[in-house]
Amino acid sequence: MQIEVLKSKIHRVRVTEANLDYVGSITIDKALMEAANIIAGEKVQIVDNHNGERFETYVIEGEAESGCICVNGAAARRVAVGDVVIIMSYGIMEFEEAKTFRPSVVFPDTETNRIVR
């Protein structure tokens, strides 16, 4: 049996831009993507801590160390600049593997969206 489990999580980052006139997706700072083990094109779930919205989209790589968290396209209506969001991706794996799997979780500074070291 296979199950879906949390693979990656960027916990609490601030939305820096909401661009309605874009094809769609979320642009994420490359440094955050790498730390969380998320790749361009990957499907992610976004949870907005300010308004409770939950939606899915795919990732576009943003400039490293820019702090960029830009929600694009129609999803831009689900957030406001300044909202704090959680970004998660999931993986499908065998049940026994899932018991020992540990997701990549990143806790950035919510003021700068940079990784606290």
Reported as a single tens digit per residue, the pLDDT across 73-111 is 999 999 999 999 999 999 999 999 999 999 999 999 999
> What are the residues whose beta carbons fall under 8 Å from the beta carbon of 59, sequence distance 6 or more?
25, 26, 27, 28, 33, 38, 39, 40, 41, 42, 44
The CATH number of 2-106 is which of 3.40.50.80, 3.90.400.10, 2.40.40.20, 3.20.20.150? 2.40.40.20
Q: Which of 22, 58, 66, 104 is catalytic?
A: 58
Is the model's pTM score more than 0.85? Answer: yes
The mean pLDDT of the chain is 96
Catalytic residue at 58? yes
Catalytic residue at 8? no
Q: Which of 8, 22, 25, 90 is catalytic?
A: 25
